[in-house]
Structure 1
């Protein structure tokens, strides 16, 4: 009898409306499924971020992460006669389109309905369903943040890639796969000389970029001296780093 009671409780919990809502309300996206993102403001222009662009892919990845980690929020998801201050469209490679727009809080007094933008909340529409989500980062980026994204990689990032490419040619061929998300982690002058340096660099193995297995990371220590050239001092491989570490390496998380 006791087993039957437990079984009934489990079934009731699984089929309860609350559980069903929780199972369906949170969108889960993958960067590689998105073709491009387009943002439009009522006043303030428009911009497109393409997955095929290496730098803009990082921005799309950031947006996807905010969506996937946002919190469900209670409130209405359909509004009448509210201004479309800003709208973001996520165009998927399979032809589907998801839409993100600001959420509103509405009150009715004396048969007059007044709606104001809900701080930190957005409406996500996908697969013919509307979901209200809470995410300060996503809300701020939708209203204004996208306008301040750089066009192309920042100069310091390009300089790091340039230096790493120079030093990469000195590595053994067995490490030829470590070309993804290169970084110059630290540069030290040798005895204060501005021409002689000790350089610490790192990168991920390209072979893991599909996400099936964790990334490995290479750590390189070298000296760069004009009269002697580049000398690799030490190379270590850090196996199976965490997803968070790989995101930081690729400048996708602070």
Structure 2
């Protein structure tokens, strides 16, 4: 009988260690695998971010990056507390899986009652019945309130960049007409401090590469824009062999 108890304890300890190991697994997602992110508050506010929307895809990519760069919490994990979270994210995958992110809780017993408060900077990530407590201040802040303040549609700063780039592109030879993807005004400098005269540095990717038929290239344009001379192109270079990381930065998919 004593041997049986010892064996049972060994199995119980082994099972417990497996559960703890599961809870320390770092989630790794790919933006292209995410269909949408649904944000909900207990107050009834909600918002859906869809992968099919070009701007919202950037937001999804940002959230996925925070998940992947978060760290498993070393503190005590309250995974079984039955309390409705004040805010929750549902990450829906293209394969049908759903991951849930909610605030982590710190709970204590007082007078035979359990009281819980939100653990600052920590969240609970649940997928396929496996829960893990993660540390990520960015993800935590976005889960609670950040999603409510995301712009609806493309921010006006990006629209202004697109407008300026389109204007400047018209001064180039038609040879460069394909460079219209993810346009950016990289830098603007005043000429001798004059607010009416500027040196502009702009860039964009070749749109034809979006279909995967040709490799990505990036155009770099340097020009002057003044009242007396208008737009004058000073330098045009084509950068070949653009890496995936550089593409994502150009298209504001990554910092």
Q: TM-score range by the shorter chain?
A: 0.7 to 0.9
Aligned length: 235
Instruction: Give secondary structure in 2 for the equivalent of 1:102.
Output: strand
Tell me the equivalent position of 1:60: 60
What residue ranges of structure 2 are gaps of 5+ in the alignment? 1-16
Deviation by residue 1:46-82 (Cα, 9 ceiling, x = unmatched) = 1111112121111111100000100011433523332
Tell me the equivalent position of 1:107: 108
Matched, 1:148 2:149: yes
TM normalised by structure 1 equals 0.77
Cα distance 1:244–1:22, how it changes in 2: closer, same or farther (>3 A)? farther
Matched, 1:223 2:224: yes
Matched, 1:164 2:165: yes
Tell me the equivalent position of 2:48: 48
| Structure 1 stretch displaced more, 84-93 or 241-250 | 241-250
RMSD between aligned alpha carbons?
A: 3.2
Instruction: Give secondary structure in 2 for the equivalent of 1:84.
Output: coil
Deviation by residue 1:172-222 (Cα, 9 ceiling, x = unmatched) = 45544433322112334556372x5432111234566699x9965322112
Matched, 1:126 2:127: yes
| 8 Å Cα contact 1:187/1:197 also seen in 2 | yes
Q: Counterparts of 1:181 and 1:215 in 2: how far apart (Å)?
A: 12
Cα distance 1:167–1:144, how it changes in 2: closer, same or farther (>3 A)? same
Q: Counterparts of 1:122 and 1:141 in 2: how far apart (Å)?
A: 11
Q: Counterparts of 1:91 and 1:107 in 2: how far apart (Å)?
A: 33
Deviation by residue 1:138-183 (Cα, 9 ceiling, x = unmatched) = 0011001111111122212101011112222344455444333221
Cα distance 1:219–1:91, how it changes in 2: closer, same or farther (>3 A)? same
What residue ranges of structure 1 are gaps of 5+ in the alignment? 1-16
Cα distance 1:239–1:80, how it changes in 2: closer, same or farther (>3 A)? same
Instruction: Give secondary structure in 2 for the equivalent of 1:29.
Output: coil
**Superposition pairs of residues 3-18 of structure 1, within 5 angstroms:** none
Deviation by residue 1:218-247 (Cα, 9 ceiling, x = unmatched) = 221123456765432211234456666555
| 8 Å Cα contact 2:199/2:223 also seen in 1 | yes
CA displacement at 1:108 relative to structure 2? 2.5
Matched, 1:185 2:186: yes
Q: Counterparts of 1:84 and 1:188 in 2: how far apart (Å)?
A: 48
Instruction: Give secondary structure in 2 for the equivalent of 1:125.
Output: strand
Q: Counterparts of 1:58 and 1:86 in 2: how far apart (Å)?
A: 21
